[in-house]
Structures are given as structure tokens and as C-alpha cells.
Amino acid sequence: MTFSVLARDPATGDIGIAVSSCILAVGRAVPGARPGVGVVAVQARSRRGLGATLLDGLAAGGTPSALVRRAAHSAEDADRQIAVLDVTGRIAADTGPGSFPECGHLVGDGFSVQGNMLGSADVLPAMSRTFAAVDGDLPDRLLAALSAGQHAGGDLRGRQSAAILVVSGQPPTDEDDGVRMDLRVDDSGDPVAQLGMLRNLQRAYEERDYDRLALFAPEGARDLYAALAASSRGDREGVRRALEAMRERPGWSAWLRTMAGDTRLAAVSRLLG
């Protein structure tokens, strides 16, 4: 009923999972991750608490292979499908004998793909090949593999939800919770594509791509990003128009006054000077 990819980025040490399924809110059910510990996928008809148990096992020093082997011996989990990745890149997966065909898993160097009730036997090989072949950071590679799986057949029943969860390989601190990306599409006719759009939007926020944000940010904030984009281009008239549009919105004039010390808006003010 689900297909997913787990992986570690050897360059950054980040670890993550991307998953899609024809169920509501797959991001609530399948992926689990703890910064500095590992990532797990718990699919098919696995017990709902198994993900937390596997992460606890990793935190206690267990290896992915030992944890998967122990879960595989549980008689009540014949329909289960699991994958476990630790922060060093060790990974193990298992597909229970009662999982829904087409089903299975493939383990590569620091990553694995797994799925059940798949639309074709090409889904997992396509995901594996794509993840191994594409360049980019970990979220981009995870999403590329997920998209390849969807194009190869995806979930036999159709499409509904998708999620991506990426965390640091280091334990969290007061300054950094270790969560690099946590995006979910709970109900959509094309959840993998929608997840890709959310990833691009997050990238725009992180990279301060104001031109993109002026188009795709929530409507109420687009004029703000249009002003910042115009400021970065030295477009005084563009800044003026955007600020005028912002001041017409109830409450925004007061908000602009409170943001007078913000370095980004200071650049806008200097341009209008």
C-alpha cells in the first residue's frame, strides 16, 4: 500500500525518508526519525508502535540488522514491512511473508527502497536506480527516487498522500532541534508532485529567493516579498508599488513600523530614501 526510500547523505551525515501511499496522511503512519539516532519506515500492516520501538533500539545501541531480525521473528507481524537506517549508514529491511504483492525491498549503499501493493514490478528498481544516479542534496535525491517510483506505477490503488522527513546525524541541542525538513501532503490527487513543490518553497525561504516567494508565498505576504525582490534589483518603483499594496491591508502599516529594525526592510527603506 506504500512505497518509500530511506538514505544517509555521506557528505553531511543527514538521514531521511520520503514516502507515498494511497492512504490519508501517510506522514503520520510510516516514517519515523530521531536526530543523532536513525530513521525507520514501518509499512504494510505493521504494529503502529513498532517505529518508536525500533528507534529506541537504535538509541540503545542496537544495529539495524539485529533490530530488523528481531521484528521479523514476531509472529503477529507477518504482514509487516520495515526498514531501519542508523547514523553511520548501516541499513536493513524486511518484507513479511504476508505483505501485499507486488511487494519487496532493495538495499543499496547507505539507502534502501521498499514497497507493497505496488502498481508494477518496476517501482523499486526505478527508485533504486534513480537514487543512486542523481546528484543533489539528500531531500532532492529522496524526492527524485519517490517520483521515479510514482512514474513506474506507484501504489496500485492510486495516490493520496506523501511525506519527507530529514534530520541531522547529530543529536539535537538547545540551538538546533536537528530537523532539517518535515513536509507532508495529507490528501492530494498528485501528492508526490505537491511534495516537490513544497520542497521548492522551503528552499526559497531558506535561500531568500524573494522573486519566487512573491509568486508562491501565501497571498497576504506576497507584497512583502515583492518589495524585497524589487529592492534586491534596485527597482525603486517596484518597491513603492509593493509597499503601497501592503499598507492597504488592515494592520500591515503597524506591522511595518514594528519591523523598522529588520535588515531586509532597512534595505527597502534606503532605496526609497
Q: 25: how many CB neighbours lie within 10 A of its CB? A: 15
Task: Give the residue numbers spanning the domain of 239.
Answer: 210-272
pLDDT of residue 48: 80
Output the pLDDT for position 185.
Answer: 98
State which amino acid sits at residue 112: S
Give the H or E element holding residue 179.
Answer: strand 179-185
Give yes or no for a cis peptide into 207 (omega within 30° of 0): no
Half-sphere exposure of 191 (CA within 13 A, CB side): 29
**Confidence (pLDDT) at 220:** 79
Among 207, 237, 253, the domain-final residue is 207
Specify the pTM: 0.89
- Do 20 and 36 reside in the same domain of the chain? yes
Q: Are residues 11 and 88 in the same domain?
A: yes
User: Do 179 and 220 fall within a single domain?
Assistant: no
If one counts the domains in the chain, the total is 2
Mean pLDDT of residues grouped by 10 in the chain (273 residues)?
Answer: 94 98 95 98 87 96 95 72 96 88 94 96 97 96 98 93 98 96 97 96 93 89 88 86 84 73 61 46
Whether 233 and 142 share a structural domain: no
